Structure formats: C-alpha cells, structure tokens
C-alpha cells in the first residue's frame, strides 16, 4: 500500500482532500518489486471499475494502460446482473483480458433464489461471451 489517503472515498476525491496527487510511479515500483518476489501479484481496485483515480483517469483505464488482466468479483445481491454485465461491456470495449470472475456467495442473507439464478445467469453469459474466462464461486469463509 504505497499510497494511502485519509478520507474513505473515491481516490480522485481522497487525493484532492489530502491535497496530494496519487504517485502512480510509486505504485508501479511497488508492483514491480512484488512481481520480482512472487509468482502472482493481486492489485485490488478501490470500489468498481469506473471509479476515478484522478479527474481524468478511471480505474478501468489504468488497467487498460498497464495491460493488466482482470479478476472481477461479483455476487448474488439483487442488481448484480445489471452491474456485472455493464462492467463486462466496459471491459470488452477496452479489450481488457477477463481472466476470472469470482462469484462471492457472501453475505448469506441474500435471497437464495435470486443468488442461485444470478450465479447461473452470469456463468452462462461468460460461457457465451468470454470463452476462456474462469468462473469460480467463492464460499463463505
């Protein structure tokens, strides 16, 4: 975590509140250092794909610029189909490789009928539109 800000909000706002621009070079160097030590390095985005990192750079465009493959996390909450398929549209438009979709079964309080249908719908959509993308359900730990 080479870049931490004080206010829990979108990065573009958090950095404005702290009056400190995000140092992308520091993030790049930290990622490179980890890549030299480990086989895999996971970078977690703050919020969703369209979250602004700066007033001119969205998280999804940072991914595209750095040519990172994407692991997309979704869930069975009502509204997830819409949110997930809109994200897929944005991913396809930028030719970002969609390596894996993780379907988070947490929280358990969601409607199991909706959660199971959402899981099936998204898994089927990926088979049809993203051949080669892995779909993995994440159990409640």
Ligand X SMILES: Nc1ncnc2c1ncn2[C@@H]1O[C@H](COP(=O)(O)OP(=O)(O)OP(=O)(O)O)[C@@H](O)[C@H]1O
Ligand Y SMILES: C[C@H](N)[C@@H](CCCCCC(=O)O)NC(=O)O
90 binds ligand Y (CB under 6 A): no
Q: Which stretch binds ligand X (CB under 6 A): 21-29, 32-40, 88-96, 133-141?
A: 133-141
Identified binder of ligand Y from the candidate list 1, 6, 8, 131, rule CB under 6 A? 8
What angle (nearest 5°) sits at the alpha carbon of residue 100, between those of residues 95 and 105?
135
Cα–Cα nearest to 75, from 44, 42, 114, 132: 114
* Pairwise CA distance, residues 26 & 28, whole Å: 5
Residue 31 interacts, among ligand X, ligand Y, none and using kind-specific CB cut-offs from 5 to 8 Å, with: none
Residue 51 interacts, among ligand Y, ligand X, none and using kind-specific CB cut-offs from 5 to 8 Å, with: ligand Y
**Strand, helix or coil at 50?**
coil
- Which residues are near ligand X by CB under 6 A? 47, 104, 106, 138, 140-141
């Amino acid at each position: 975590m080479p870049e931490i800000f004080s206010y829990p909000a979108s990065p573009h706002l958090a950095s404005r509140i702290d009056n400190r621009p995000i140092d992308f070079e520091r993030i790049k160097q930290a990622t490179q250092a980890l890549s030299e030590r480990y086989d895999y390095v996971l970078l977690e985005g703050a919020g969703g794909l369209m979250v602004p990192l700066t007033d001119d750079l969205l998280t999804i465009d940072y991914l595209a610029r750095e040519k990172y493959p994407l692991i997309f996390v979704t869930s069975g909450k009502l509204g997830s189909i819409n949110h997930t398929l809109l994200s897929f549209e944005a991913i396809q438009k930028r030719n970002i490789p969609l390596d894996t979709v993780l379907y988070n079964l947490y929280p358990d309080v969601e409607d199991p009928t909706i959660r199971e249908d959402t899981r099936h719908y998204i898994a089927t959509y990926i088979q049809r539109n993203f051949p080669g993308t892995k779909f993995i359900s994440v159990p409640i730990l």
